[in-house]
A and B are shown apart, each in its own frame.
Chain A
């Protein structure tokens, strides 16, 4: 049995910041799920704000690194990028919407 929580995973990923907009991936609403199995393997399901993002591979690598280095006990982290549901600004936190002028 693994005692890692989703909150710990999300907290770790909140250290990953998109340099274009200046917000972390969690408050942007880009992290859809974190699946933790009994052996403490973590699978992060996330999306990106645009398909043509030039930082695609780097962002996913940073998420993997953040989970593996910041959450104690993680055996292996895997990141899956999905495009459904498509991200939109309503998924972001209010502080992001406000800062971008969308609120």
Chain B
């Protein structure tokens, strides 16, 4: 009975590469922002390449690593085949590099990169769905995970077809399908996954209980409906359906934000550590992204679209990930190096296992950088954009150093025992 916890937990050596690679992609991704021209449209290959670098190399890499550990904890069954994670990160890494090379220099490479990424995603999907099949108690989080993974696969297949159009001349209207590709991957996977996981993680870390869950249930159903409406409208060429789908998704996000507020209101743990501050900034950025998305959907406008995407990706998604890194990595290290020592000697608390000073610097530089550069994009001031990016680069450097600090915590001591 008591060995289950160990069975659930994947080996540290299996998950660590996801966090190391993800952090390196994050740091290099902020450097590459200097190569972009914020005055260009979102169809610009340099911007498209950067988005894939960041979303695949940083966001997906970290989410997959976190999922390897979180899925069994959340659904209370072991992985179907956890060893598959040993092949997921090399495939995702190689595919991402090939795709970015395709966008930036050699379009013919793009389909090969797309195929590698698709393969990594399918392996991840196989393990996740087979794991979820074993679950007895089908909660909202489980349903969200199933839907999100199906959307991810559909989104990647759509993306793969688009790479064939760019790299191999297959006849597909990229401008028509690009929006649906983004909706499936960003709305259908990233946002839905965050919705599902945050329903577990926010109350867990904030010690919140007894809150109403109806807003997130409605948000989940609306998000599901919005993504499907966008997909089918694209398939049948129904422009108004796509327009309506965007608003359905905006309402879903609004309800989700209301849910986050309800959890925040009843939380017992009120200390504002790096995790809490990252959550505040992340959700604040989501509000800004939604407020910019509304006029962007009605009136159009490249600067509004890019600024909304900026606050969604660099503000919301990034800060939710970086904030949780300060919780997840110390836990994994503690579990690997200190859990066997409990009762035999003093073991550190998780709060002692991240570098508070560096984390504070990371937060200050990154948050200021997101706001300054985002304002530069919105108001069309290039100097503001590049100034903000410099701040982001410094922040990303502190994050990289923090991740290294956390990963080696107690390593020497552990090896000497």
Report A's interface with B, CB cutoff 8 A: 15, 17, 19-22, 49-50, 52-58, 60-62, 64-66, 69, 86-89, 92, 97, 100-102
B207 on the A face (CB < 8 A): yes
Q: Give 26 CB contacts A-B under 8 Å.
A: A19-B334, A19-B348, A19-B350, A20-B205, A50-B200, A50-B204, A52-B200, A52-B204, A54-B5, A54-B69, A55-B5, A57-B1, A57-B3, A58-B5, A58-B342, A61-B5, A62-B342, A65-B343, A66-B343, A89-B268, A100-B207, A100-B268, A100-B269, A100-B271, A101-B269, A102-B269
Q: How far is the CB of B389 from chain A (nearest CB, A)?
A: 35
Could you tell me the distance between the alpha carbons of A53 and B201 in the complex, rounded to whole angstroms? Answer: 10
CB-contacts of B331-350 with A (<8 A): 331, 334-335, 338-339, 342-343, 347-350
Q: Are B207 and A89 in contact (CB under 8 A)?
A: yes
| Interface class of chain A by DSSP | loop
Q: Which of these, B210, B268, B334, contacts A102 with CB under 8 Å?
A: B268
B270 on the A face (CB < 8 A): yes
Could you tell me the distance between the alpha carbons of A23 and B351 in the complex, rounded to whole angstroms? Answer: 12
With a CB–CB cut-off of 8 A, which chain A residues contact B348? 19
| Minimum-distance CB pairs A-B, first 9 | A101-B270, A57-B5, A89-B268, A22-B349, A61-B2, A50-B204, A54-B73, A102-B268, A52-B200
Q: Are A19 and B271 in contact (CB under 8 A)?
A: no
B4 on the A face (CB < 8 A): yes
Q: How far is the CB of A50 from chain B (nearest CB, A)?
A: 4
With a CB–CB cut-off of 8 A, which chain A residues contact B172? none
B411 on the A face (CB < 8 A): no
| CB closest chain-A residue, reference B197 | A52
Report B's interface with A, CB cutoff 8 A: 1-5, 8-9, 69, 73-74, 200, 203-205, 207, 209-210, 268-271, 331, 334-335, 338-339, 342-343, 347-351
- The residue among A19, A22, A49, A101 with the most chain B CB atoms within 10 A of its own CB is A19
With a CB–CB cut-off of 8 A, which chain B residues contact A58? 2, 5, 339, 342
Known contacts A22-B349, A50-B204, A54-B331; is-contact A101 B271 (Cβ 8 Å): yes
| CB closest chain-B residue, reference A15 | B343
Could you tell me the distance between the alpha carbons of A53 and B205 in the complex, rounded to whole angstroms? Answer: 10
With a CB–CB cut-off of 8 A, which chain B residues contact A54? 5, 8-9, 69, 73, 331, 335
Q: How far is the CB of B84 from chain A (nearest CB, A)?
A: 21
Q: How far is the CB of A84 from chain B (nearest CB, A)?
A: 13
Could you tell me the distance between the alpha carbons of A87 and B342 in the complex, rounded to whole angstroms? Answer: 24
With a CB–CB cut-off of 8 A, which chain A residues contact B5? 54-58, 61
| CB closest chain-A residue, reference B74 | A52
Q: How far is the CB of B166 from chain A (nearest CB, A)?
A: 42
